[in-house]
Amino acid sequence: MAFYYNPQSLILATFILSSIFLISLSEATKNGGVTVDLIHRDSALSPFYDPSTTHFERLRSSFRRSISRQYALTSASSFKSVSESPDSFGATLTPIGGEYLIKIKIGTPSVEILAIADTGSDLTWTQCAPCTQCYKQNSPLFDPTKTTTYRNVSCTSQQCQSLGAESSSCDESNGCLYQVSYGDSSYSNGDLAVETFTFDSSTSEESVILPKVVFGCGHNNDGTFNETGSGIVGLGGGAVSIVRQLETAIGGKFSYCLTSLNSKFSSKISFGPNAIVTGPNVSSTRIVQKSPDTFYYLTLEGVSVGNEALAYNYIPNSNSKASVEEGNIIIDSGTTLTFLPNSLYEGLESTLEKSINGNRVSDPQGLFGLCYKLPSNGEFNAPPIIAHFTGADVKLTQENTFVEVEKGVVCLTFALTRSGHFW
């Protein structure tokens, strides 16, 4: 997996089975290919942008969802790729409370939906009519009776068996039922089916049609989902994900470029050959294969603040260097904050406190550990942090590590992990 970071440019993360690349958007466009927008829910570019909410309210919402997300439960599965798929396509991402929405079309004739693009889960699902229980959404529910390409999956099929016994069951007609749940008590239950998916390119007039994509048609869904989204597009490493279903066709390659919340540029996601990035500013670190295979595991060896290096297994006042477990952190498009284990976080916080000349204050809402009062001139100075991955050092500037969480209060956007390690 590879990282390139330039705080003044757009960042592109490319997943290629065993590696990830981050590079400026200008470098990536040299390779061509179909690309689609990613839309942040709270961005002014979002069709569901709510100007009545304040900047700080939107931040707090994304932080709380990021913390809840640590407990997410995902299912792993395996089945064959869709051979009819094209080798390159893309989509737009829309920001949504720390998450990004992707616009896709389902069915024949097609119906447009917005769903959360999630590298931390596998199964793609959308709310379907009729609904036993559905959370409120702005767009109409997907109706499988109004499309000619919808087919339920048999309970004895490879696709159903790949979900595993804990995530699947059979109905009276031998149809496959799925059940997925998340740590924040959100869930989706319904029929496992195949359907035609269509992606409209944001860089050209072409559309890409993907037949027989396995997905969940949810008739019983609830939790902390926002009404702007209609479900989830699973981009994880498990075989039920879109990436794995199309692995042969797209070569296991996809990339995404996430812009800042206030950027005038849209975030992008690309699949296939156009996701490949090259150039002098590209560095690489390996993705570690671990269980569950949903997650993209990286190896974080430590962090540095100025000249002081803190190993992943940081031991205060010790020169000893403990071995680092491979795959000790994951990269997740649906998580806003960076979560670190107790020893490393405490070492980072302590080192930063010694380096920052400021008035430390408590976070009024208790979400963050290291906060400061913003000086009257609006200038807060913090040293850069370097994250050391295997073979790749990522320099994080102040705009990446401290944020004004409410008027006059800036806080470190790293937090203690509660379950697993997230980046």
Please give the helix or strand (H or E) that residue 170 lies within, else none: strand 168-170
Q: Tokens for 317?
A: 């006042």
Question: Is 332 annotated in the active site?
Answer: yes
C-alpha torsion 349→350→355→361, nearest 10: 70
Q: Which of 45, 33, 46 is nearest to 204 (CA)?
A: 33
What is the enclosing helix (H) or strand (E) of 303? strand 300-305
Distance CA 299, CA 390 (A): 6
Catalytic residue among 118, 122, 200, 293: 118
Note the pLDDT tens digit of each residue in 110-137. Answer: 999 999 898 888 999 999 999 999 999 9
What does the pLDDT read at residue 44? Answer: 62
For residue 85, the one-letter residue type is S
What's the gap between Cα 88 and its chain centre?
20
- Reduced to 3 states (helix: H, G, I; strand: E, B; else coil), residue 245 is helix
Per-residue pLDDT of 246-270, as tens digits, reads 888 888 888 888 777 667 778 888 8
φ and ψ at residue 7, rounded to 5 degrees: -60, -20
Among 388, 396, 369, which residue's Cα sits nearest to residue 309? 388
pLDDT at 18: 44
Cβ atoms within 10 A of the Cβ of 253, count?
A: 25
Please tell me whether the overall predicted TM-score, pTM, comes out greater than 0.85 for this model.
no
CA dihedral in degrees (210, 214, 217, 223; nearest 10)?
Answer: -100
298 alpha carbon, distance to own chain's centre: 15
With the C-alpha atoms ordered 43, 45, 49, 54, is the resulting torsion angle positive or negative?
Answer: positive
**E runs forming strands in 161-266:** 168-170, 176-181, 187-200, 207-222, 231-234, 253-258
Q: Which of 42, 191, 200, 332 is catalytic?
A: 332
Cα–Cα distance measured from residue 58 to residue 355, given in angstroms and rounded to the nearest whole number = 30
- The side-by-side arrangement of strands in the sheet containing 392-396 is 308-311, 300-305, 385-389, 392-396
Stretches where the chain sits below pLDDT 50 are 1-33, 71-85, 96, 419-420
Cα end-to-end distance, the chain, whole Å? 13
User: Which amino acid is present at 325?
Assistant: E
8: left (phi over 0), alpha (psi -120 to 50) or beta: alpha
